[in-house]
């Protein structure tokens, strides 16, 4: 018995347990006291003397069950109707009798105690959960980088490599080769085939473990992906349901801008410290009392003029930007909104008198200008310069929304130049990419020199990038 205890101690060390010579002597003494007739007493005695850390308890339990397994123990694991170990179930399917299975299990138990944790699980002598296998093998992976379901296969393979899957298969093949002379070559090959199937199940279980880890770390991944897809989907390609969600997002962005702008006056209410005036006042009073002087700066809300093309080619984009103009009425000290196709008309009062959806629908149904005409940016800019140029001041931001598709009409860029000369700045939001600006009837290249900034806004993601520009 002493030899078996010493060998068991070596197996414990091989599997990561720190067992000293003194602790082995204590284990031998404890075994002499409790005897070997009661497996539970023996297990308790050895655990009390050899196991020092809670994390080592699972390793000890598995090694003890394998090394000190007695004939008939497998029967209590499920031969009478319970959940039998995977190897027992597989051997039954192969048609082996209970006596044959008992003989093979007893023989494999002696061998299994010398295998690595993954090889033991692949052998299937005990039902072991993946979490226990990972603890037994001491494997630690950094799952903080697991942010996409496409990475599940990569992390699963990393896990198999960390568990030394190729080494485990080699251990099993070597074991069945050694057992071939004792149980017959045919039966050894059958056992190897069963073990290979069990290893495949272990691989599948590891993949499920990684997939579950991904789910735990990315509970809202699907919602985030939907938001990302929606943000990068062109406005013109959206369904009615997506357009409804986009309207809510546009309104939320506008309200966020209002909140940010409303904080600015409070932050600068007292102004910055004026050191020169503070010291000069202190000298006049001999330093008593000492009063701080601040540079007070009057913060004014910016003014906004929106010129929005509502022709069919940009209907989706301009609808949302009109919603912006409507929602930002309280943000800017004065907002004047104009829509145009060929003619240009003001819809500022329309926005003041009706709720947002009603006002935008009226603008698009011909309540302001003829929406069935062909686009003519040049004529619209000429009309604005002649009739509404007084709406533009050095404090005004002019926002033009449109694709600049002018149907080969004169661009009248001089009219836009006159607007730019009076305005604080002129921004143009174009739903078409820059590569389209020099082709066909686009007049964007004629207008671009008179714009402080031209942005492509064809989806929600691009719109979000432009949002901050409106209040700077």
Q: In terms of domains, do 93 and 201 share one?
A: yes
Dihedral sign for Cα 350, 354, 360, 363, please: negative
Residues 372 and 461 in one domain: yes
Note whether residue 223 is domain-resident: no
Residues 345 and 404 grouped into a single domain: yes
Same domain? For 93 and 213 the reply is yes
Checking DSSP bridges between strand 334-340 and strand 303-309, what pairing results, if any? parallel
Is 224 inside any structural domain? no
**Under a CB-based contact definition with an 8 Å cutoff, are residues 426 and 415 in contact?**
no
Domain count of the chain? 3
| Residue 290 to residue 277: CA distance in whole angstroms | 11
Q: Which domain holds residue 411?
A: 242-267+300-470
Residues 249 and 320 reside in one and the same domain: yes
pLDDT of residue 337: 86
Whether 229 is in a domain gets the answer no
Does residue 222 lie within any of the structural domains? no
Residues 358 and 251 in one domain: yes
Q: What is the pLDDT of residues 297-351, one digit of tens each?
A: 555 556 788 898 888 777 666 676 677 667 666 556 678 889 899 999 998 888 8
Average pLDDT across the chain, whole number: 76
Express each pLDDT in 164-205 by its tens digit: 778 888 888 888 787 777 777 887 788 788 888 888 888 888
Same domain for 212 and 246, yes or no, is no
Give tens-digit pLDDT for 391-409. 999 888 888 888 888 999 9
In a domain, 236, yes or no: no
- The per-residue pLDDT for 263 is 46
Asked if residue 226 is part of any domain, the answer here is no
CATH code of 401's domain: 3.40.50.410
Q: Strand, helix or coil at 373? A: coil
Confirm if 72 and 79 have CB atoms less than 8 A apart. no
pLDDT recorded at residue 440: 87
On whether both 140 and 262 belong to a single domain, the answer is: no
Residues 357 and 279 in one domain: no
Residue 229 has pLDDT above 60, yes or no: no
Q: Are residues 182 and 259 in the same domain?
A: no
Please report the pLDDT score of residue 74 as a whole number: 44
Same domain, 283 and 306: no
Measure CA 349 to chain center: 44
Give residues with Cβ within 8 angstroms of 93, minimum separation 6: none
pLDDT in tens, 18-53: 888 888 888 888 888 888 778 788 888 888 888 887
Q: What percent of the chain has pLDDT over 70?
A: 70
Q: DSSP letters of 334-360? A: EEEEEEESSSEEE-HHHHHHS-HHHHH
Give the Cβ contact number of residue 51 at 10 Å.
Answer: 19
Cα(363)–Cα(319) distance, integer angstroms: 9
Q: Maximum CA pair distance of the chain?
A: 112
Q: Is residue 161 part of a domain?
A: yes
Q: Which two tokens stand for residue 437?
A: 């600006």
Backbone dihedral angles phi then psi of residue 138, each to the nearest 5 degrees: 65, 30
pTM of the model: 0.49
Contact assessment for residue 133 and residue 58, using Cβ atoms and an 8 Å cutoff: no
Q: Are residues 258 and 277 in the same domain?
A: no
């Amino acid at each position: 018995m002493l030899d078996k205890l010493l060998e068991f101690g070596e197996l414990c060390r091989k599997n990561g347990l720190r067992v000293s010579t003194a602790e082995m002597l204590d284990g031998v003494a404890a075994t002499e006291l409790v005897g070997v007739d009661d497996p539970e007493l023996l297990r308790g005695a050895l655990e009390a003397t050899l196991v020092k850390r809670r994390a080592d308890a699972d390793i000890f339990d598995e090694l003890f069950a394998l090394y000190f397994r007695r004939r008939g123990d497998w029967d209590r694991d499920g031969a009478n109707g319970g959940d039998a170990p995977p190897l027992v179930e597989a051997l039954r399917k192969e048609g082996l009798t209970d006596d044959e299975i008992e003989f093979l299990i007893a023989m494999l138990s002696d061998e299994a105690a010398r295998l690595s944790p993954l090889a033991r699980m692949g052998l299937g002598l005990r039902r072991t959960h993946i979490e226990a296998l990972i603890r037994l093998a001491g494997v630690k992976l950094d799952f903080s980088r697991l942010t996409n379901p496409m990475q599940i296969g990569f992390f699963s393979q990393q896990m198999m490599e960390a568990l030394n899957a190729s080494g485990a298969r080699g251990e099993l093949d070597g074991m069945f080769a050694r057992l071939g002379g004792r149980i017959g070559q045919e039966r050894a090959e059958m056992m190897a085939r069963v073990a290979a199937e069990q290893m495949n199940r272990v691989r599948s279980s590891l993949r499920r473990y990684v997939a579950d880890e991904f789910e735990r770390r990315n509970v809202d991944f699907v919602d985030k992906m939907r938001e990302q897809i929606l943000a990068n989907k062109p406005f013109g390609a959206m369904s009615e349901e997506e357009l409804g969600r986009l309207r809510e997002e546009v309104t939320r962005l506008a309200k966020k801008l209002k909140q940010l702008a409303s904080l600015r006056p409070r932050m600068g209410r007292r102004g910055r410290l004026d050191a020169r005036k503070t010291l000069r006042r202190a000298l006049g009073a001999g330093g008593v009392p000492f009063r701080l002087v601040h540079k007070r700066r009057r913060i004014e809300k910016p003014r906004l003029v929106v010129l929005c093309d509502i022709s069919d080619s940009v209907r989706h984009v301009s609808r949302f930007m009109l919603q912006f103009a409507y929602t930002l009425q309280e943000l800017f000290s004065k907002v004047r909104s104009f829509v145009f196709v060929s003619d240009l008309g003001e819809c500022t009062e329309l926005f003041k008198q009706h709720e947002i959806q009603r006002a935008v629908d009226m603008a698009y149904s011909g309540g302001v200008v003829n929406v069935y005409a062909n686009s003519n940016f040049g004529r619209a800019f000429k009309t604005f310069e002649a009739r509404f140029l007084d709406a533009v001041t050095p404090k005004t931001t002019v926002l033009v929304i449109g694709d600049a598709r002018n149907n080969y009409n004169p661009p009248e860029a001089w009219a836009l130049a006159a607007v730019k000369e009076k305005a604080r700045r002129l921004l143009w939001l174009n739903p078409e990419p820059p590569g389209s600006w020099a082709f066909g009837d686009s007049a964007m290249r004629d207008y671009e020199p008179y714009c402080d900034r031209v942005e492509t806004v064809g989806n929600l993601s691009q719109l979000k990038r432009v949002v901050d520009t409106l209040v700077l």
